[in-house]
Amino acid sequence: MTPDLIILAQITKQYQMGAVQIPVLQGIDLRIHQNDFIAIMGPSGSGKSTLLHIIGCLDRPTSGTYLLEGKSMPDVSDKESSRIRATHIGFVFQKFNLIPTLNVMENVELPFLYADIDVEIAKKQASEAIHRVGLTDRIYHKPSELSGGEMQRAAIARAVAIRPKIILADEPTGNLDSKTGREILRLFEEFHSHGAAIIMVTHDKEVASFAKTIIYLKDGKIEDKIS
């Protein structure tokens, strides 16, 4: 049994809208290991993105326990939390979230700013990541000069350049045709085979079939887990 990378215990999340409390996550228990490749499925509004953001420390739970490599993340300072996030976690979003004014290389170099890594090492790792996703000949293109699949490749290069232990992806193929989507999923498989834990949200059963475990969320609870 590999050690737990992340432990979530009885995680809840409520949003406050004026006087009304909206319960979104209602007691999530989940252990994530370094060799996991998990797909999170479930109806729209069931809390998939909220859960992914909490796993990625982009959002804080209302209550519950969150441990990353044994460290209680809600207890560390904001500065320490951004540093841990920058060095441990890579994000991939449905809408790519690239900075339009920066070229591929500059976008991929961005996360290093938060990770306190030497500039020369950052440049080397950024070029390597761009090479691994097959974008070396597009390195000076701006996002508007790329196809959708290329934009997602650039976003994946940005997510993996720092060599994170965990890659989180929220509907990474949602804006792509199925062939391009499969190419993106093969990249995830490759990074997984090189040791990264992957957690991806998807609506698509075929996409989820690339994962080793599927978690079904319903009304903010884990309804089923299939390995």
Please identify the residue of the shown chain whose CB is closest to the bound Mg ion: 49
Nearer to Mg ion, 125 or 202 (CB): 202
Nearer to ligand ATP, 22 or 119 (CB): 22
Shortest spacing between CB 16 and ligand ATP, in angstroms: 8
* 25 close to 87: Cβ distance less than 8 angstroms: no
Select from Mg ion, ligand ATP, none the partner in contact with residue 17, using the beta carbon and a kind-dependent cut-off of 5 to 8 Å: ligand ATP
Shortest spacing between CB 15 and ligand ATP, in angstroms: 3
* 104 close to 132: Cβ distance less than 8 angstroms: no
Nearer to ligand ATP, 157 or 208 (CB): 208
| The dihedral sign for the CA sequence 69, 215, 60, 171 | positive
* 44 close to 201: Cβ distance less than 8 angstroms: no
DSSP for residue 3: P
Nearer to Mg ion, 49 or 107 (CB): 49
Nearer to Mg ion, 49 or 152 (CB): 49
Shortest spacing between CB 24 and ligand ATP, in angstroms: 4
For 199, the enclosing helix (H) or strand (E) is strand 197-201
* 137 close to 106: Cβ distance less than 8 angstroms: no
Select from ligand ATP, Mg ion, none the partner in contact with residue 85, using the beta carbon and a kind-dependent cut-off of 5 to 8 Å: none
Sheet holding 63-68, edge to edge: 20-33, 4-17, 63-68, 71-72
Phi, psi values for residue 120, rounded to 5°: -65, -40
Shortest spacing between CB 49 and Mg ion, in angstroms: 3
Nearer to Mg ion, 103 or 202 (CB): 202
Structure tokens at 151: 């934009």
Select from ligand ATP, Mg ion, none the partner in contact with residue 13, using the beta carbon and a kind-dependent cut-off of 5 to 8 Å: none
| CA 36 vs CA 33, 63, 214: distances in Å | 5, 25, 11
Applying CB under 6 A, the residues found at the interface with ligand ATP are 15, 17, 22, 24, 42, 44-50
Shortest spacing between CB 60 and Mg ion, in angstroms: 18
Shortest spacing between CB 81 and ligand ATP, in angstroms: 19
Applying CB under 5 A, the residues found at the interface with Mg ion are 49
Structure tokens at 21: 């409390």
